[in-house]
Amino acid sequence: MEVLADFFAQYGDLLLQEAWNTILMTVISTFFAYVIGLPLGVALVVTSPKGLRPHRVVNAILGWIVNIGRSFPFIILLVVIIPFTRLLVGTSLGVAGAIVPLTVSAAPFVGRMVEQSLSEVDAGLIEAAQSFGASTWQIVWKVYLREGVSSLIRGVSIAYITIFGYAAMAGAVGAGGLGDLAIRYGYQRYIGSVMVAAVVICIIWVQLFQSIGDYAARKIDKRR
């Protein structure tokens, strides 16, 4: 017990601070990834060959953007877009510096997740809405997003946890957070206990997030 008390006395504040940084950068990045990815996913579905407004060229271009974005290794993207990051938030370091590459890298992924969730919505419901004279916008708002809500929420859990994993990598280039802490103390200074504590906090947080996501998705779904 005493050992633990000593450990937390020494590193507790540090762990808490970096855990907060990690949560901050991942939550904000996930939010912005959806700001970009949600319309992207909707556009992919709507312009697809069987969509409400089929458009081959737009669909193909969006598809390419998404695929290029997704195939770009994150660690490289992180470095390549540093000038863009500086332009946008004034620094490439810390939480603010991490949010830009995390968002850019996750948005195409989120776009695909949203596309997947929306294409699971029963085509019969889309047709029914059309038969009542619903416009494309009304179908997107009132049918796709509403009927696909449970799947969309499950997607948020997956996207968030993926971003969480990337955030540890961002730590390697000065983003801070738990991943950075684990590398600096565990790998570079051989203080394994800090690394272990950081990893344990990561595991607990991811588990918690996934459970809350699953619960919310189940609770909101009115299908039986």
Partner 1 sequence: MIEIEHLNKTFTARSGVHHALSDINLRIEDGDVFGIIGQSGAGKSTLVRCINMLEQPTSGTVRIDGADITGYRGRQLLGLRSRIGMIFQNFSLFQQRTVLNNVTFPLELSREGRGGKNATREGREARAKELLELVGLADHADRYPSELSGGQQQRVAIARALANEPSIMLCDEATSALDTRTTVSILNLLRDINKNLGVTMVLITHSLAVARMVCNRIAVIDEGRIVEEGSTEQVFSNPQSAVTRELLHFDSLTQVQADEERAGN
- Quote the least distance from Cβ 165 to partner 1, whole Å: 31
| Number of chain residues interacting with partner 1 (CB under 8 A) | 24
Q: Which of 6, 13, 120, 221 touches partner 1 by CB under 8 A? A: 221
Q: Which segment (16-24, 101-109, 135-143, 159-167) binds partner 1 by CB under 8 A?
A: 135-143
**What is the spatial distance between Cα 157 and Cα 66, in angstroms, rounded to a whole number?**
20
- Quote the least distance from Cβ 131 to partner 1, whole Å: 4
Asked if residue 162 lies in contact with residue 109, where contact means CB atoms within 8 angstroms, the answer is yes
Asked if residue 95 lies in contact with residue 179, where contact means CB atoms within 8 angstroms, the answer is no
Residue 87 or 128: which CB sits closer to partner 1? 128
Q: Which of residues 138-177 bind partner 1 (CB under 8 A)?
A: 138, 142-143, 146-147, 149-150
Q: Which of 134, 172, 173, 206 touches partner 1 by CB under 8 A? A: 134
- Quote the least distance from Cβ 182 to partner 1, whole Å: 41
- Quote the least distance from Cβ 56 to partner 1, whole Å: 15
- Quote the least distance from Cβ 136 to partner 1, whole Å: 10
Q: Which segment (23-31, 98-106, 126-134, 204-212) binds partner 1 by CB under 8 A?
A: 126-134
Binding site for partner 1 (CB under 8 A): 122, 124-125, 127-135, 138, 142-143, 146-147, 149-150, 220-224
